[in-house]
Structure 1
Amino acid sequence: MTLALQPAFTLTVDLAEPREVGRTLAGHRRVIPILGGTVTGPALTGEVLPGGADWNLVRPDGAIHVWARYELRTTEGFVVSVTNEGLGEPGKPIPTRPVFEVPTAGPAWLSVGFFLGELRLGDHPGQVRIAVSQVIPG
């Protein structure tokens, strides 16, 4: 079996100043609040709702572990919960695996698909972009 990536949408996320937790046994922890943003793409459009955050960790080996929890609102009005986790090297795009929790009448394809993201810095300070693609059996 071969697998392919099909672009689904891009999240442009605006972030607040990090809250520094500081050095922990796991590494340097900071919490980065999410202020909002946009969802654009061929398969989904809407907005990133304010109120989530990324519980970001820089491990002792220098790797960056992202673990974010937040919500989207589609243009149809459905609120979708997102958990997005990834691990990468500083200064490089970070691969992530977003998982979606969808209301009963919402876009069910999000809750049964397998997705990969690529997190990069955005066009402005305090902004990131996550290009989300669905994994499609070929």
Structure 2
Amino acid sequence: MEHLAAPTLTFLADMELTVEGAYLPGQTHIGERRIIRVTGGKMCGNVNADVVPGGDDWITVREDGTIIQDVRILLNTEDNALIMMTYRGIRTGPKDVLQRLDNNEAVDPSEYYFRTAPVFETAALAYEWLNRRLFVSRGIRLPGKVNYSIYTVD
């Protein structure tokens, strides 16, 4: 069996999302649910865009405090193309660190694991290549916002 080299990553963009406080539907059969409204933001790099207010992060909190993200946002590029962006993600770490994040405290990203797998969809020809690539990101939770560095998997 042939062993292939690990894929490389190429920087795509940095993205900052501003968010509201969480809506708390509570504990369901799936887990504790939180819904966080995305109020805006910006993507800068090989794709430059504003984040259109109104996206959401539908979070499931597992029993150990691990957060599973399900995010849908809309990007409006500097040349007025619309790009739909969805991603699933995971944020986990020691319970005391997760509690500090829940308290909206700034926590060094080396203290927890926060990764996502963005998927882009667009009809804009200039950005059509986004429809045909895989992406990963590393995130950091900050008071009132979330920042990501997004990479193309080559």
TM-score by length of 1: 0.90
**Separation of aligned partners in 2, 1:22 and 1:126:** 21
Task: Report if aligned partners of 2:47, 2:77 keep a CA contact under 8 Å in 1.
Answer: yes
Kept after mapping to 1: 8 A contact 2:81/2:124: no
Q: Percent identity?
A: 29
Aligned residues: 133
What is the letter of the counterpart of residue 37 of structure 1?
G
Does the residue aligned with 1:52 lie in a helix, a strand or coil?
A: strand
Q: Which has the higher helix share?
A: 2
Q: Once the 2 structures are TM-superposed, how far is the Cα of residue 31 of structure 1 from its aligned partner?
A: 0.3
Match of 1:72 in 2: 75
Q: Deviations over 1:67-101 (max 9, x none)?
A: 10010011111010011101231442411100001
Q: Aligned to 1:110, what secondary structure does the other structure show?
A: helix
Q: Secondary structure at the match of 1:49?
A: strand
Question: Match of 1:97?
Answer: 117
Equivalent in the alignment of 1:63: 66
Answer with 1 or 2: which has the greater Rg.
Answer: 2
Give the unaligned 5+ runs of structure 2.
Answer: 99-111
Q: Which runs of 4+ in 1 moved over 4 A?
A: none
Q: Deviations over 1:18-65 (max 9, x none)?
A: 101111122110100000001111x11111110110001111132110
Q: What pairs up with 1:89-128 in 2 under 5 angstroms?
A: 89-90=92-93, 91=98, 92-122=112-142, 125-128=143-146
Counterpart contact for 1:119–1:129, Cα < 8 Å: yes
What does residue 52 of structure 1 align with?
55
Please tell me whether the aligned partners of residues 82 and 124 of structure 2 are also in contact (alpha carbons under 8 angstroms): no
Deviation larger for 62-71 or 84-93: 84-93
2:27 to 12, 15, 23: 23
